[in-house]
Amino acid sequence: MSATASAPESTKQRAKFQPLEVSEVRRLTDNAVEVSFAVPEELRADYDYVPGQYVALRATIDGQEVRRSYSICDIPQSGIIRVAIKRDLGGVFSTWANDELQPGTVIEVMNPQGAFTSRVHVTSLNDAQALLKEELADVGGAPHLVAIAAGSGITPIMSIAQALLSGSPTATFELVYANKGGSDVMFAEELGDLKDKYPTRFAVHHVLSREQRVNPLFSGRIDDEKLKILLDKVILTEDTREWFLCGPFEMVQLVRDELAARGVDNENIRFELFSTGKPSDGPQQGNTGRPVIVDPSGKNITISFQLDGLSGSIESPASANETVLNAALRARPDVPFACAGGVCGTCRAKVVEGEFTMDENYALEPDEVARGYVLTCQTRPTGESITVDYDA
């Protein structure tokens, strides 16, 4: 997952897992479920979140630890976290969740993370609507937001749209939602309810790639030509305060490029990715990191890190071209990470000393990179040593 702007400092929390019990599993489509977790009173402050954020889930499946990140899909409310999990072809976690997950199961859930959030947003779990109204009063006007999502990319959009529309009597929200067919539309009933509740302030345009619709504009994939027509003829783009893009890399990049060509300020475009579409060589062995053997007679690099106020260090053979995250996991299995693909930002740390390269970055803002922050799953030392601080 990724976003174009950092979350406010108040929403950034040290990434840590806690065991939470599944309170409900609700079928959304044949291949998607909504999973609710009960948050006990003593942990509710840790699971405060802003609409658009995500949680990482950790479970042992067939003897192997598996981690996946899923966006929170509901308006903030005390004592509960809801995520939607769509089955991916060959996906270990998503298949298990859709086929076997039941109420009463206890799963490790990371506290909410992520920056796919609106500048017009709530900042507290328990006073969501009141605080949103205060912020709207401060910024003035009637904000219009537009989202373009595909498949399970609707998940964070549901949280953002519901919070905005319920918290402001003047805000408007427009959604373009792409799916293969009508049976694949997640939250179909909830989207209908939003339209009924806010008929003049919420609009949704369904685009189905494998079904013929009356208007051919809403049939087929969203390509460059279709996108231009949507932006010219369908979506109210002129006064859009923020854009939210969530889905596969190709779609998100297509929309970003088109909005940039139309002069939309990058600061007003938020995006989140399913993945980069590229294979990851990040941790594949649960939470222990890819196996690496140090050659005592060869050239080794010292990788040092600070986590929870404690220092750690490990030798990494230069020939292994190992990432900082992978090395750190070999020393401490509680080093935070989720996707290991450069899109979620969970493994963020600040480089204190040393030279490095960062392969991919779909989660950090330019100002964060300028201040020395990196995604450790994508960062490889190029000198004799590197030191990073996960607590920074």
Mean of all residue pLDDT scores within the chain: 88
pLDDT by residue (tens digit) across 193-237?
999 999 999 999 999 999 999 899 999 999 999 999 999 999 988
pTM for the whole structure: 0.84
17-110 and 130-273 share one fold: no
Percent of the chain with pLDDT over 70: 87
**Domain limits, the chain:** 17-110, 130-273, 300-389
Q: What distance in Å separates the CA atoms of residue 358 and residue 367, rounded to the nearest whole number?
A: 15
Tokens 């806010």 found at:
198
pLDDT by residue (tens digit) across 295-311?
777 899 999 999 999 99
Residue partners of 352: CB distance under 8 A and separation at least 6: 306, 372, 387, 388, 389, 392
Which CATH number describes the domain made up of 130-273?
3.40.50.80
Which CATH number describes the domain made up of 17-110?
2.40.30.10
Distance set, CA 122 to CA 52, 82, 91, 236 (Å): 10, 17, 33, 24
Which CATH number describes the domain made up of 300-389?
3.10.20.30
